[in-house]
Amino acid sequence: MADQKDNIDDFKVQTAKHPNLGSAPLRQHSEQSKDRASKRLSTESNGTSDGGVGSSTPVEVTALEESFRRFAIHGDTRATGKDMHGKNWSKLCKDCGVIDGKNITLTDVDIVFSKVKKKSCRAITYDEFKVALIDLAKKKYKEKTGEEAEAEVFKLIEGKTPVIAGVTRAVASPTVSRLTDPTKFTGSHKERFDDTGRGKGKAGRVDMVDTSGYVSGYKHRGSYEKKVNKPTEGKPM
């Protein structure tokens, strides 16, 4: 009872020092833990953290910006996807069908790139990329309004990825075919391959000693063994 009385007296002293303490309802420890957990999940989903720098709302990447990033990092392992060089810009316009050879040519694409980029930079940002597309849209769709032309150009690029070209084929030439065709080999090189052009392996590289007793190139090789080892069935004793 004495301990309980002391606790009550301490509470009164704290209330006297802090008048707002008694007005605020005391929350249980479990409720405080739930609030902290919900706050942490909220910040993680928004891409921010306690004490960190970031937006309070999640950043949504559009299909156009996703295509911009894919082309920006194409062929460059050190690229971050935040800016795009002129080579990848030209590839994007070509792969996505912006260049048609009539209203938009490769020269037009290069001119627009130099126009929107900063003088001290060799690449364009996403915002400059959109400005360049709007400029090309006016030339490509002259019969449409500015907003309609812009939407049409954006549709050509949204969801697209860089086109990877196939492996370069070797050009066939008489010189190359003569050097790679085993049937046309002569001398010791010819002995390394059989009639089908398949390599003989060790037999074609090492001189194998023939101990059969026949002269090289003898057509009736093995005929003597057949006569000697001929079966004697039917002969009288």
Identify the bridge partners of residue 84 per DSSP, sorted by sequence position.
Answer: 124
Mean pLDDT computed over every residue of the chain: 75
Which residues, other chains included, contact 128 with Cβ-Cβ below 8 Å and sequence gap of 6+? Answer: 116, 117
Mean pLDDT over residues 13-29, rounded?
51
CA distance 58 to 52: 14
Q: What is the pLDDT of residue 77?
A: 87
| Domain count for the chain | 1
Token code pair at residue 63:
């299909």
CA distance 135 to 137: 5
Mean pLDDT over residues 211-223, rounded?
76
pLDDT in tens, 142-201: 898 889 999 999 999 999 999 887 656 666 677 777 777 877 788 777 778 887 778 777
pLDDT in tens, 106-143: 999 999 999 999 989 999 999 999 999 999 999 999 89
What is the band of 10 on the pLDDT scale with cuts at 50, 70, 90?
low
Cα of 50 vs its chain's centroid, Å = 34
Residue 139 located in a structural domain: yes
Q: What is the full DSSP assignment across 218-235? A: -TTTTHHHHHHT---TT-
Q: What is the pLDDT of residue 166?
A: 63
Token code pair at residue 224:
């003597």
Residue 22 located in a structural domain: no
CATH number of the domain that 130 lies in?
1.10.238.10
Longest Cα–Cα distance in the chain: 141
pLDDT at 235 over 70: no
Contact present, 140 and 98 (Cβ < 8 Å): yes
Residue 120 located in a structural domain: yes
Domain assignment of residue 73, given as a range: 63-156
Per DSSP, 211 falls in state: -
Q: What is the pLDDT of residue 2?
A: 53
Residue 99 located in a structural domain: yes
Residue 105 located in a structural domain: yes
Token code pair at residue 126:
């996403």
Q: What is the pLDDT of residue 51?
A: 44
Token code pair at residue 42:
């909220």
Contact present, 89 and 102 (Cβ < 8 Å): no
pTM score:
0.47
Residue 124 located in a structural domain: yes
Residue 202 located in a structural domain: no
Residue 187 located in a structural domain: no
Mean pLDDT over residues 64-91, rounded?
92
